[in-house]
Chain A
Amino acid sequence: MYIGRVTGRLVATVRYEGLEGVKLQLLETLDEDGESTGEQLVAACALDVGPGDLVHFIDGREAALALPDETFVPVDVAITGFVEQVTSGGRELDLDPTPGGPA
């Protein structure tokens, strides 16, 4: 799993069967200082999240298992929950949800 920040959302009407109703969110992965690594992903999500929210997410085949209904679906990134606090290198990261999108 990794930590990431939600930056936006994506709409797609035509989807592979079984993915109906799954929310798609844009996110960026964070480094050990809580800054964006520059990596941008689209994640499936079973939670209500919005821009600026800090989350943990999973990649690979296991991502589909984070969905509430159909889990035999082609999903390779999924949000697994909200992150409330991160300490790194002996200090608490300042992770105020400041929606700014990718810097």
Chain B
Amino acid sequence: MGRPDGALPRDTLARIFDMAQEAGLKPCPIVFEEVPARLMEAITAYGGLLNRYQHWTFGKAYQRIRLAHEFRLTRLYELVVNANPAIAYLLDSNSAVENLVVTAHVIAHVDFFQQHYRFREVPANMPDRLTRIAPAIERARVRLGAAAVEKWLEDAMVAAELVDPYNDDWEAPANVLAYIHHEARDLSDDARRLIEWVAQEARYFRPQLDTKVANEGWATYWHQQLMRRYPLTPGQVLEYARLHAAVVGSRGLDNPYRLGTAIWTRAFADGDTDAWQAHRYLSDVGMVDRFVTPELLAELEPGLGRDEALSLKSRLLQKLDNAGLPRIEVEGSEGRVLVLNHRHDGRDLDQRQLPGALMALSRLWGGPVRIITAVQGKARRLLAQPDTVIEEAG
């Protein structure tokens, strides 16, 4: 088969694997799948799991990603699926140098998934499980109707974000969907299974959300290390330097590649043992807390004073806390009413989205849902029914 310039040569890949393993990375076997750009966009929309159930939300994500690509806002070089064997999708139009960088990057991601403790409880065969669940979802479509299944999935996705990532017991207050699943009175078996499935997916993805900066940083740090050792021609060095610069960007903390690389560079400067320990045990909050110093912030945001740096660090920690999601917990049920408490940390909830999200919970719960929150320092209580929300007197 005729291969374009960018195709992945087996011996090059073997060489990068050798170098990575020599450096201490321990990836599981990887299936590299070279795909066209259009498919890469689709894969991204499905979070890497192409076998997921059909849902319009993925279609919407797909359209938006395609649109962004049309406007050249983003380019996706690779996407790694956490599984064993891992699946790495590569863009089939990648140049030879892009593929070198991308495979080194991928190997480090896979190592991270394999070594970090947060991924130990995650099923290694998620793609296969998805294939097996498909018939059950089809049966639910027949019995409940396609529109009802679509709605159950949509509502469950809202609730599935409300999890305690460290404790999957339904009684843990942060596990709102698990509580509903366990305690709701009128859920049909089909609906219950749909909810279970969405909850499983959310649990699968959650550690990735909590380690986004650490993992992207780890992969970027290591592609940098490996490319420094790889014998590149002068022309290739230039292409690599451009690519790396595009990935890490010029300034700011919003880019997880940039922030993450800076953190790992600091961690390894502090000592190899510390860094390798952190790589197994720290998620984003831990990494920032442990390694982000005022000096490091000043490197990333030139011109920053010491006080500004400290407040920037605390804002960064807050932003990364709980994967950036508000902490909403079950208080209990009062009769038919499910009562939730928003643990307010100084940041208000988005009031535009709140009613819609609450109604989704009410539909799942099969009854009224109350939330106790605060807006601009004043207590606010909302009571949601499946299709209305009213404000209750404080």
Q: Do A and B come from one complex?
A: no
Interface residues of B (CB under 8 A from A): none
